[in-house]
Amino acid sequence: MDPLAPSNAAEVLVTLGIDTHADVHVAVALDQLGRRLGSKSVPTTEAGYAEIVAWAEGFGALDRVGVEGSGSFGAGLARHLRSAGAEVVEVNRPNRQHRRRFGKHDTADAESAARAVQAWTAVGQPKSADGTVEMLRALRVARRSAVKARTQAANQLRALVFTASEELRTELRGLSTAKLVSAAARLRPGRRPADPTAATKMAMRSIARRHRWLSDEIAELDEQLERLVAEAAPALVALRGVGTETAASLLVAAGDNPERLRNWDERTREYVARRTAGGKSKGEILRCLKRYVAREIYRVLASPTTGLPAPTSAP
């Protein structure tokens, strides 16, 4: 018998490392001394999540869980683990150079995640993704793709104008996007186009209608985004220059559990303390920090290594 082995399961503190995938998650369990207790693969279902918790608790008390991809493939698992009372730690995936050199092995990656948690090299708390901010994130995904598709539709309309017959091109060239969409939507090519001009009209009308549908979709999404942002952070959107899109971006970056963002750079802490003691408000300090970051970015871009001319003065 191993003299270092605990006398009973209750004394074992289990650390899990989990390599996540679309269909199967792979877990490795370690005890508090770093000894491997076992590995297990489960399907990415609620039953699979419950199975992995029960399996880990069979070794002892579940301490902490390192999850790779907690914001993507592992999002559902991370939510289940938190609801079960486990402390979830976000673990970065192995870098690509390491994978190219040593290959990809799910069990090894899961064990690496567990050891990163035990070594305290992985300490980040993942986003909870269970509230208003997660709603904002999902709606912004839809809006972003709709805006991209609408821009593509507008570009296609203009490309068809360039290659259209002279008569049609004369009628439509020089119009703004809104007027071009409106004019193209009114075109009457007939049900069976008999020549290139009629076919071009049908294509333009189809794209114009698509542009309108996308505009309606974007407007509907904007309405919901505006409502959710106003409910989640009314003080933020009340700030001058902060609109719905900017506020939503900041909220999504912070997540539904912004308390996880607690580690400021020590130099920033010292700067904030010094300027606060000097009588500066929080807003003034943030503006100073933004100006400093802008100057640093400008300085780097204008350095000799970039090949850009040096600025005559700071922005």
Query: pLDDT tens, 77-115?
Result: 998 998 888 889 988 876 555 555 555 678 988 998 999
Q: What is the pLDDT of residues 157-177, one digit of tens each?
A: 999 999 999 999 999 988 999
Distances (CA, A) of 226 to 40, 220, 235, 236: 44, 10, 13, 12
Q: Are 257 and 128 in contact (CB under 8 A)?
A: yes
The confidence score (pLDDT) of residue 256 equals: 77
- Among candidate residues 118, 140, 162, the one where a domain is terminated: 118
As beta bridge partners, residue 315 has none
Residues 19 and 53 in one domain: yes
- Among candidate residues 68, 93, 118, the one where a domain is terminated: 118
Residues 243 and 293 in one domain: no
Q: Report if residue 32 sits inside a domain.
A: yes
Tokens of 224: 């919901």
The tokens 């191993």 sit on which residue?
2
* Mean model confidence pLDDT for the chain: 83
Residues 112 and 179 in one domain: no
Residues 249 and 270 in one domain: no
Q: Report if residue 126 sits inside a domain.
A: no
More confident residue, 51 or 241: 51
Residue 177's domain comprises 132-254
Q: Report if residue 72 sits inside a domain.
A: yes
- Number of domains, the chain: 3
Q: Report if residue 259 sits inside a domain.
A: no
Q: Report if residue 2 sits inside a domain.
A: no
Q: Pinpoint the alpha helices (H) of the chain.
A: 46-57, 75-83, 96-102, 106-118, 132-163, 166-172, 177-185, 196-232, 234-237, 244-254, 266-277, 282-301
The confidence score (pLDDT) of residue 296 equals: 63
Q: How confident is the model at residue 300 (pLDDT cuts 50, 70, 90)?
A: low
Which of 48, 51, 55 lies closest to 22 in space, CA to CA?
Answer: 48
Residues 240 and 171 in one domain: yes
Q: Are 128 and 79 in contact (CB under 8 A)?
A: yes
Residues 141 and 112 in one domain: no
Q: What is the pLDDT of residues 31-64, one digit of tens each?
A: 999 999 999 999 999 999 999 999 999 999 999 9
Residues 172 and 80 in one domain: no
Q: What percent of the chain has pLDDT over 70?
A: 83
Measured torsion, CA atoms of residues 275, 280, 281, 286, in degrees rounded to the nearest 10:
-50
State residue 147 phi and psi, 5-degree precision: -65, -40
Q: How confident is the model at residue 288 (pLDDT cuts 50, 70, 90)?
A: confident
pTM equals 0.67
Q: Report if residue 182 sits inside a domain.
A: yes
- Among candidate residues 86, 118, 150, the one where a domain is terminated: 118
Tokens of 165: 């017959």
Residues 162 and 220 in one domain: yes
Residues 138 and 246 in one domain: yes
Which of 76, 79, 94 lies closest to 128 in space, CA to CA?
Answer: 79
Q: What is the mean pLDDT of residues 192-209?
A: 93
Residues 189 and 288 in one domain: no
Q: Are 70 and 88 in contact (CB under 8 A)?
A: yes
Residues 208 and 298 in one domain: no
Q: Report if residue 17 sits inside a domain.
A: yes
SS3 258: helix
Q: Are 81 and 14 in contact (CB under 8 A)?
A: no
Q: Would you say residue 4 has pLDDT above 50?
A: no
More confident residue, 145 or 116: 145
Q: Report if residue 314 sits inside a domain.
A: no
Q: Would you say residue 234 has pLDDT above 50?
A: yes
Residues 78 and 32 in one domain: yes
The confidence score (pLDDT) of residue 128 equals: 77
Residue 15: CATH number of its domain: 3.30.420.40
> Which DSSP state fits 233?
-
State residue 29 phi and psi, 5-degree precision: -110, 135
